Chain A
Amino acid sequence: MTMAGPSHLAAGPAEQPRPVYQIERLSKTYARNRLTALTDVNLALHKGEFVSVVGSSGCGKSTLLKIMAGLLPPTTGRVVLEGQPVTGPRDDIGMMFQQATLLPWKTTVQNILLPIEMRKGRAAAKAAIPRATELLQLVGLGDFANVYPGELSGGMAQRASICRMLISNPAVLLLDEPFSALDELTRDFMNMELQRICAEQHATAFLVTHSLAEAVILSDRILVMKPRPGRIVEEILIDLPRPRQLEMINTPRFGEIVAHIRDLLGKEAFQ
């Protein structure tokens, strides 16, 4: 069990990066059924860091993500992004869901501009078209700006939703099993794309997943959660070198890490 800082600095300088997102003594109890979804969760995300949360279903990882997104109020605790307490949805929080969730009546570029259009109006959205085009190029969808989502494949749609997440230059990316609806080959490819995009944008990312391999290949740190009540039981530093490659899945070190996490979670599942 290691509780040290991040092992990997995306930005380069050797100094300790400032925490972007900080959560202290967070708990969440649902009033309706008095269920304790989360208890005493502490975590800090540093600039350029990729952190994943793994755990069986019902361990509170989705609740944690929703609280971090400002979609759900915490019961107690401090939730602070860039020095400001998170009290509701904010435009410096980028979010991605299991489904691409593109609106089928808007073109790809209109979908990407949607967050700006909602918050600042049509004029601001129009002004952001160059930025949207740039992002589309970043994810390799340059030729699909004016295509409707119905004509995009599942992987392309998720790449468009990456652009929509990045359009407002968020300080943190919250990823809710973003590629779980894709087939395995596309998913592997998209994970590598996500790594590349995060590196290029120096993004601070927080991923919720139930795929251990996905968490290990992408993350600098993995938080292992257990249910009843939802809590973080272990923090694992992933010391695999950057950039990560899919071939690393076959290395002994990768296998050790996955086995370790599986062991941690497995004990809980059969209790």
Chain B
Amino acid sequence: MTLSPNLKDDPQVDTVWVEHVALIDSIPRWLAMLGLAVVVIVIWDLATARLGWVSPIILPSPGETFSDLIFVGKNLLSGGYMLTALWTTTRTVFWAFLIATAIGFSLGVLVGETKFGERAVMPYLVAIDTMPKVAFAPLFIAWLGFDIASKVALAAFIATFPIVVSTAAGFYAASENERMLFKAMGASRWQTLIRLKLMTGLPYIFTGLKIASVGVMAGAITGEFLGGGKGFGALIRESASMLDTPRVFSLILYLSLLGLALFFLVALVEKRLVFWNKADRPGGVG
């Protein structure tokens, strides 16, 4: 692009390559995102409020949705009943994530580190994992009642499997050379487990935790849909049954903030803990 003009006129130069920068590369990310949002909202507005192609019961106009968004936001900020509902769901998600992490990590270590786990336990885990786990919801409700416990159980149940698989994979991740190095240093099994396999496994484990953080949200809301209670899921179902579509939309949006918060919390911890895992590592394990 920064080509001196005289080079083009130089008779000695017969080929001049000019590299063009693609338009999308010259736009900052935030502007591209904003642009897309504006386009989508304009089309949305045209289809609903302006031209009336879509019934407001099916899809409310952006204006309606935004005003409801503000209403829900005010309710949340003033500590209204919606905040109580959000708090219930947050607690559900928190406990479910904690339980899923504890059980998933333990099972992952069992499967990844022991022959017994790999040969005897893993086939059962795979079998259970292939089942549609939401189908277990009525069982959890029957066992644990309509309170928060049954939702925690369902959400944890869904979120456990990705953690098991990623932890097991993580414990396999140490290279042959690294294992040999630890053996040559006379490391005990425990030392190898903690100082090598756990450390090399951390990036894998965090991948599992991120998948689990999404799964735990889905599990908690499904549980609240099916088992009632006082959470955000029950609120959404209630609004939907009253055909209050704008409310459903704004509740989902606020709910997504909870999911995002959990996801980014996990990502933040990962960034702190797995500080070395950036780009390529030419000198390291590779």
Please report A residues at the B interface, Cβ cutoff 8 Å: 69-71, 88-91, 93, 95, 97-105, 114-115, 118-119, 148-154, 156-157, 160
Chain A residue at smallest Cβ distance from B279: A150
User: Interface-forming stretch among B1-9, B27-35, B121-129, B175-183?
Assistant: B175-183
Given contacts A69-B184, A104-B284, A148-B276, 15 further A-B contacts (CB under 8 A): A89-B185, A90-B186, A93-B184, A95-B181, A100-B283, A101-B178, A101-B285, A103-B199, A103-B284, A105-B275, A118-B186, A118-B187, A152-B284, A154-B283, A156-B283
Chain B residue at smallest Cβ distance from A174: B184
B286 to chain A, nearest CB (A): 7
Residues of A contacting B279 with CB < 8 Å?
A: 150
* Cβ-defined partner of A149 (8 Å) among B183, B191, B199, B284: B284
B256 at the interface (CB under 8 A from A): no
CB of B191 within 8 A of CB of A118, answer yes
CB of B184 within 8 A of CB of A71, answer yes
CB of A102 within 8 A of CB of B183, answer no
CB of A101 within 8 A of CB of B183, answer no
Task: Determine the distance from Cα of A186 to Cα of B109 in the docked complex, in whole angstroms.
Answer: 40
A72 to chain B, nearest CB (A): 10
CB of B175 within 8 A of CB of A99, answer yes
Residues of B contacting A149 with CB < 8 Å?
A: 281, 283-284
Task: Determine the distance from Cα of A153 to Cα of B283 in the docked complex, in whole angstroms.
Answer: 5
Produce 1/0 per residue, B252-285, CB < 8 A to A.
0000000000000000000000011111011111
B282 to chain A, nearest CB (A): 6
Task: Determine the distance from Cα of A104 to Cα of B185 in the docked complex, in whole angstroms.
Answer: 17
Residues of B contacting A104 with CB < 8 Å?
A: 276-277, 281, 284-285
A89-B186, A95-B184 known; A102+B177 contact, CB < 8 A: no
Residues of B contacting A95 with CB < 8 Å?
A: 180-181, 184
Task: Determine the distance from Cα of A157 to Cα of B281 in the docked complex, in whole angstroms.
Answer: 11
Residues of A contacting B277 with CB < 8 Å?
A: 104
Task: Determine the distance from Cα of A118 to Cα of B196 in the docked complex, in whole angstroms.
Answer: 12
- Among A69, A91, A118, A151: residue with most chain B CB under 10 A: A118
Chain B residue at smallest Cβ distance from A147: B283
Please report B residues at the A interface, Cβ cutoff 8 Å: 175, 177-178, 180-187, 191, 195-196, 199, 275-279, 281-286
A132 to chain B, nearest CB (A): 15
* Cβ-defined partner of B283 (8 Å) among A71, A90, A105, A150: A150
CB of A88 within 8 A of CB of B178, answer no
Residues of A contacting B182 with CB < 8 Å?
A: 118
Residues of A contacting B181 with CB < 8 Å?
A: 95, 97, 101
Residues of B contacting A71 with CB < 8 Å?
A: 180, 183-184
Residues of B contacting A91 with CB < 8 Å?
A: 186
Residues of B contacting A98 with CB < 8 Å?
A: 177
CB of A118 within 8 A of CB of B177, answer no
Chain B residue at smallest Cβ distance from A152: B283
Residues of A contacting B283 with CB < 8 Å?
A: 100, 102, 149-154, 156-157, 160
Chain B residue at smallest Cβ distance from A161: B181
Residues of B contacting A114 with CB < 8 Å?
A: 185
B138 to chain A, nearest CB (A): 45
CB of A99 within 8 A of CB of B282, answer no
Task: Determine the distance from Cα of A88 to Cα of B185 in the docked complex, in whole angstroms.
Answer: 10
Chain B residue at smallest Cβ distance from A108: B283
CB of B278 within 8 A of CB of A150, answer yes
Interchain Cβ contacts under 8 Å between A and B, 20 examples? A71-B183, A71-B184, A89-B183, A90-B186, A95-B184, A97-B177, A99-B177, A100-B284, A101-B178, A101-B181, A101-B285, A105-B276, A118-B182, A118-B195, A148-B284, A149-B283, A150-B284, A154-B282, A156-B283, A160-B283
- Among B181, B184, B186, B191: residue with most chain A CB under 10 A: B184
Task: Determine the distance from Cα of A47 to Cα of B199 in the docked complex, in whole angstroms.
Answer: 38
A70 to chain B, nearest CB (A): 8
Task: Determine the distance from Cα of A104 to Cα of B174 in the docked complex, in whole angstroms.
Answer: 12
Residues of B contacting A152 with CB < 8 Å?
A: 282-284
Chain B residue at smallest Cβ distance from A101: B177
A98-B177, A118-B191 known; A88+B186 contact, CB < 8 A: yes
A267 to chain B, nearest CB (A): 32
- Among A69, A97, A150: residue with most chain B CB under 10 A: A150
Residues of A contacting B195 with CB < 8 Å?
A: 118
CB of A118 within 8 A of CB of B175, answer no
CB of A102 within 8 A of CB of B187, answer no
